[in-house]
Structure 1
Amino acid sequence: MFQKVLIAEDLDAINLAVQHVTAELQITTIHHDKYCDEALLKIRKAVADNEPYELLISDLSFKDDGKKVKLHSGEQLIDAVKQIQPNIKVLVYSVEDKNYRIKSLFDNQKINAFILKSRDSIYQLKKAVQTIYNSDSPYIIPELAHVLQDKTAAAIDNIDIEIIKHLAAGIAQEDMENAFKQKGITPNSKSTIEKRVSKLKILFRANNTIHLIAITKDLGII
């Protein structure tokens, strides 16, 4: 079993519950932090001391309490940690239930497990830790297993997401070329943007751009 685990969670009740689970699994060293910046410092120091953490358990959302921080979300923390320790195993424990965002965690952040916070999530959390310790296969709760089979994430890229975000911000399609050029986003030609918007409407079966924005918001893409 893992012997050194770091928990990044800003709610005391959840923190204590996760610590209880990890203690039950006979994990000997369990540290926790309420801020992503401080969790990253612990990871960095552990690597420098040649005593790295084996598992990071992290939430995605961290409440802004006025403290100045560089890392504001679990995704940002995971990205930063992976730069320091690429092979650390990561389990996300969150209320997030948007398919695209969860799939993106596996595809882009290369997490090992995702557990949805719910009434019976403690059992699932314990099972997930045991599973990813014994295997490199990803673990996700059964009711969200279909998310890993979703091919939508592979069909769109960062440019598509930028287009949808600009549409959601009220920027007209014909004005997007200049907006992209000002931000250094390429490709940015009018014809490319038009083709991509058409592709996105077909992909998400959207009747118009407003419908497209609503669908992608529901999926957690923007």
Structure 2
Amino acid sequence: MFKKVLVAEDFDGYNIAVAEALKALEITNTDHAPWCDEALLKMVRALEDGNAFDLLVSDLSFKPDHRTAKLTGGEELIAAARELQPDIKILVYSIEDRPHPLQYLFNELNIDGYVLKGRNNIPEIRKAITAIAIGEQYISPQISHVLQDRTLHEIEEYDRELMKMLSEGVSQAEISLLLQNRGINPNSVSSIEKRINRLKITLRANNNVHLIVIAKDLGLV
């Protein structure tokens, strides 16, 4: 079981749930940071002291305040934590349930577990930490299907940029010029039209407006 845990969470109610789960697992060496920058600083100091954290529990969304922050969200904190301490185990505890952000967390940031925030989460947090401690991956059952959905693997960064510009009201002709100015290919109007049509087929969208609605629901834009 984990010996030293850092919790990055800015809402006391959710922090209490994590604290209760850790207490039930008899993990007493814990620390808390309400801001991402503070969490990373605690990790740095712990490494320097030769007493590193072995589990990071983090939210994804942190409410901004008057402080100037280098790390503004959980994804940035997790990426920085992975770079600083590649072997640290990471459990995300958040309300985010859109497929693309979840797949990014597991596939790109290599998190070890994800608990979807809700009522009576203490038993599930305890279950997730126990699974991660023995080398297993954990994801809340109600969103576990997200990792099996291969549809989003067909969506490239180029596609996301196209949909982002469409969502901002940019016409296909204007998109073509913008891509040309950035040196991005393909950039012809016909190529862009074909790509958008392919996206509509992939995401089962009836038209461009429907495509953007679906893309937003999936967290692609």
Q: TM-score range by the shorter chain?
A: over 0.9
The number of residue pairs the alignment matches comes to 220
Q: Is the 8 A contact 1:36 1:73 kept in 2?
A: yes
- CA 1:185/1:73 → structure 2, altered by over 3 Å: closer, same or farther? farther
What CA distance in whole angstroms lies between the structure 2 residues aligned with 1:50 and 1:180?
A: 49
Q: State the 1:47 CA deviation.
A: 2.3
SS of 2:90's equivalent in the other structure is strand
Q: Counterpart in 1 of 2:22?
A: 22
- Provide the residue aligned with 1:120 in structure 2: 120
Deviation (angstroms), 1:26: 1.6
The within-5 A match list for 1:47-196 is 47-135=47-135, 137-182=136-181, 184=182, 186-190=184-188, 191-196=190-195
Q: Output the TM-score relative to the length of structure 1.
A: 0.93
Letter in 1 for 2:97: D
- Structure 1 residue aligned with 2:200: 201
Deviation, 1:90, is 0.8
Q: Aligned AA for 1:189? A: N
Task: Tell me how far 1:139 sits from its aligned partner.
Answer: 0.7
Tell me whether 1:6 sits opposite 2:1 in the alignment.
no
Once the two structures are TM-superposed, the CA of residue 169 in structure 1 deviates from its matched residue by: 1.0
Identity of aligned residues (%): 44
Matching residue's letter, 1:151: R
Partner Cα separation in structure 1 for residue 39 and residue 46 of structure 2: 11
Q: Once the 2 structures are TM-superposed, how far is the Cα of residue 35 of structure 1 from its aligned partner?
A: 0.5
Aligned-pair CA distance for 1:133: 0.4
| 186 and 84 in structure 1: CA distance in 2 versus 1, 3 angstrom threshold | farther
Distance 1:179-1:48 versus aligned 2 partners, 3 A rule:
farther
1:180 deviation in Å?
Answer: 3.1
User: 1:5 is aligned with what amino acid?
Assistant: V
CA distance in 1, matches of 2:215, 2:32: 34
**Residue 87 of structure 1: CA displacement?**
1.7
Runs of 4+ off more than 4 Å? none
Compute the RMSD of aligned alpha carbons: 1.6
Alpha-carbon distance change, 185 to 51 in structure 1, aligned in 2, over 3 angstroms: farther
The superposition leaves residues 180-205 of structure 1 with CA deviations (integer Å, 9 ceiling, x where unpaired) of 344x4633522443332122111001
2:173 and 2:23 mapped to 1: Cα distance?
57
Q: Distance in 1 between matches of 2:151 and 2:85?
A: 29
The amino acid that maps onto 1:140 is I
Q: Aligned pair in 2 of structure 1 residues 181, 66: CA closer, same or farther (>3 Å)?
A: farther
Q: Any idea what SS the aligned residue of 1:97 has? A: coil
Asked if structure 1 preserves the Cα contact closer than 8 Å seen for 2:17 and 2:121, the reply is no
Unmatched 5+ stretches in structure 2 = none
**Which one-letter code corresponds to 1:134 in the other structure?**
I
Distance across 1 between alignment mates of 2:79 and 2:195? 28
Task: Tell me which amino acid in the other structure corresponds to 2:37.
Answer: D
- Alignment-derived partner of residue 214 in structure 1: 213
Question: Does the 8 A contact of 1:104 with 1:153 survive in 2?
Answer: no
